[in-house]
Structure 1
Amino acid sequence: MATGKMRRTPIERLEYAIILSTLLILVVLMVQPLLNLLAISLSDPSKVTSMSGLAIVPDGFSFDVWKLLITNPAVQRGILNSIFITLTSTVLGVIFTALMAWALSRPGLPGRRTILVLVLVTIVFDPGMIPDYFLNKRLGLIDSYWSVILFKVVNAWYLIILIRFFEEVPSEVLEAAELDGANAFQIFWHIALPVSKSALATVALFYFVFHWNDFFRPMIYLNDQSKWPLQVVLRQFVVEGDKLAMVGVDNSNNYTGASQINIRALSAGMILLTIVPILAIYPLILKFFTKGTMSGALKG
């Protein structure tokens, strides 16, 4: 029997080269803007205005932008608020979505079809901002973190993803657990959740990205600036161009070189602050996708 690698045909080699080239181009297109932002934020403030949008190497070198941002109380509070809101929303979202999806995936649930129709209705017909605002006002949630945390704590799209995944759990395994005396919650906790890690990781990632990037709802419902997440602080700074309020430079003597800081460099630093957590979480979630893919291949 011949051993070794199978030789590719010329057509296969061409296809491989095209795919590889396309992926490399996509990587460059996605990474270059991030490197440009990093280069701008680390450049000498007096040279930032002359830098092009394609530059990926700092012109000069300075940490003034990052010192101003990291030591600014508004930015510090924004980071802590974003972490608290995002993590709390993600944990609650995954828990409640998984519980509801497991119940709706069981064929014997009374009124299952009606509930599923109501779930689909929430996708097609959005209640709108005004009824939502008055509801939160009646519940006393205005200017409360909960007005943001509880928003879409069960997302209909993510619910459908988990329902379809739970429906694929072998009925034989569930029946064996019932014969062994396991109750409904034990089956859910010890069988359904462990075999659904990839789906749960996907939903958790969706919730995390959604709440981390959300700025509109906090901007409407959180009037207290001390409760603003980082995205609202970023919007106030970048969109409004409020350099002094966001960086806290009321007097150029408060910080060496503060008066020379370019708003473009500050914007680049703020944007990177909001992007880095999203980029950091992907490698942590990726292993669950890999395990889920391999598990599906083995089942097949």
Structure 2
Amino acid sequence: MNRTWGGRAFDAANYTLLAVIGLITVLPFLFVISGSLVSSEELLVKKIVFIPTNISWDAYRFIFATKVIYQSLLNTVLITVVGTFINLLMTTLMAYPLSKKTLRGRSKIMLLVVFTMLFNGGIIPTYLVVKSFSMLDTYWSLWIPSAISAFNLILLRNFFQQLPEGLEESAKIDGCNELRILFSIVLPLSLPAMATFALFYAVGHWNSFFSAVIYINDSNMWPIQVWLRQIVMLSAGGFGDAGALSEVVVPPESIKYSVIVVAALPVLLLYPLLQKHFAKGVLLGSVKG
């Protein structure tokens, strides 16, 4: 097709705008990664480094010189995997009944769900509730209070409402009960939705910091985010079993950047695995013509 001058100019403007937005998005990642690999000498000369001249791994050696970092990584993996499973299970078991028009009082229940999005009890009442159920210093304090996200619940309920009712009616004729219909028919058809919410919940658990600081006093149970905070705070005075680096001066800025890379890398590696389903799941609840 022969494009007009105005159409070509419009495309050029769009490409330029997208390129600028992409550059703005990539530059912070490049700056953080380069800052974690830059040598102390170069960092003293240059305040902003996007491509380091000499790559130095001293900051990462400094972080992983302590044994507790490995334990905290295992703790975080456990918190993320089990927590995401609980989130998906509880959200599904609540969203599926609420998607049924025959459920009595579902509008009132949804009103209570929306109410929690606007108001909450606050930190102190929540802490007292967690303490009264003897969940302090246990991972249940990180899983149970955030078992269901009201926003994700509403989206998943809308997704279930869009499924054809004929599938469930056919399954009931064959003798399936509601749980069998849910786990054998509805969930296999909802893989894009499950993958999307799994990513949201997993990222939330991986980045969870404040709840662990409040409810977990045992340092052996701390997730990676809490320990990385400790590393940043104590980086100037040394941290852990860093005897091998006693003669190496690691800039605190490089340690902070390497901490960011360590915390963000697992999530960045997880996203490509779920990208196929995530692209479909972002249209949850949208109007399709």
**TM-score of the aligned structures, taking structure 1 as reference length:** 0.87
Instruction: State the one-letter code of the partner of 1:282.
Output: Y
How does 1:1-300 map onto structure 2 within 5 Å?
6-53=1-48, 55-238=49-232, 240-244=233-237, 246-249=239-242, 254-256=243-245, 258-291=247-280
- Displacement after TM superposition at 1:293 (Å): 7.9
Q: Are 2:191 and 2:277, in contact at CA under 8 Å, matched by a contact in 1?
A: yes
2-side partners of 1:279 and 1:159: how far apart?
A: 25
Instruction: State the one-letter code of the partner of 2:39.
Output: D
1-side partners of 2:186 and 2:161: how far apart?
A: 10
Q: Which moved more, 1:72-81 or 1:146-155?
A: 72-81
- Displacement after TM superposition at 1:132 (Å): 0.9
Instruction: State the one-letter code of the partner of 1:49.
Output: L
Q: Deviations over 1:159-204 (max 9, x none)?
A: 0010011000011222122222222112111221122222212211
1-side partners of 2:81 and 2:208: how far apart?
A: 13
Q: Are 2:193 and 2:284, in contact at CA under 8 Å, matched by a contact in 1?
A: no
Q: Secondary structure at the match of 2:190?
A: helix
Structure 2 gap segments, 5+ residues each: none
Q: Secondary structure at the match of 1:260?
A: coil
- Displacement after TM superposition at 1:26 (Å): 1.9
Q: Are 1:197 and 1:288, in contact at CA under 8 Å, matched by a contact in 2?
A: yes
Q: Are 1:243 and 1:263, in contact at CA under 8 Å, matched by a contact in 2?
A: yes
Match of 1:3 in 2: none
Instruction: State the one-letter code of the partner of 1:193.
Output: L
- Displacement after TM superposition at 1:30 (Å): 1.8
- Displacement after TM superposition at 1:217 (Å): 0.9
Aligned residues: 288
Q: 1:14 to 1:241 in 2, by over 3 A?
A: farther
Structure 1 gap segments, 5+ residues each: 1-5
Q: Are 1:46 and 1:262, in contact at CA under 8 Å, matched by a contact in 2?
A: no
**TM-score of the aligned structures, taking structure 2 as reference length:** 0.90
Instruction: State the one-letter code of the partner of 1:20.
Output: Y
1-side partners of 2:152 and 2:52: how far apart?
A: 42
Q: 1:135 to 1:69 in 2, by over 3 A?
A: same
Instruction: State the one-letter code of the partner of 2:264.
Output: I
- Displacement after TM superposition at 1:40 (Å): 2.0
Instruction: State the one-letter code of the partner of 1:117.
Output: L
Instruction: State the one-letter code of the partner of 1:45.
Output: S
Q: 1:90 to 1:295 in 2, by over 3 A?
A: closer
Q: 1:16 to 1:247 in 2, by over 3 A?
A: farther
- Displacement after TM superposition at 1:265 (Å): 0.9
- Displacement after TM superposition at 1:47 (Å): 2.6
Q: Deviations over 1:180-232 (max 9, x none)?
A: 22221121112211222222122111111212112111011111112111111
Q: What is the alpha-carbon root mean square deviation over aligned residues?
A: 2.4
Q: 1:109 to 1:28 in 2, by over 3 A?
A: same
Q: Deviations over 1:79-126 (max 9, x none)?
A: 222211112111110111011101110111232222212212211220
- Displacement after TM superposition at 1:139 (Å): 1.2
- Displacement after TM superposition at 1:7 (Å): 4.3
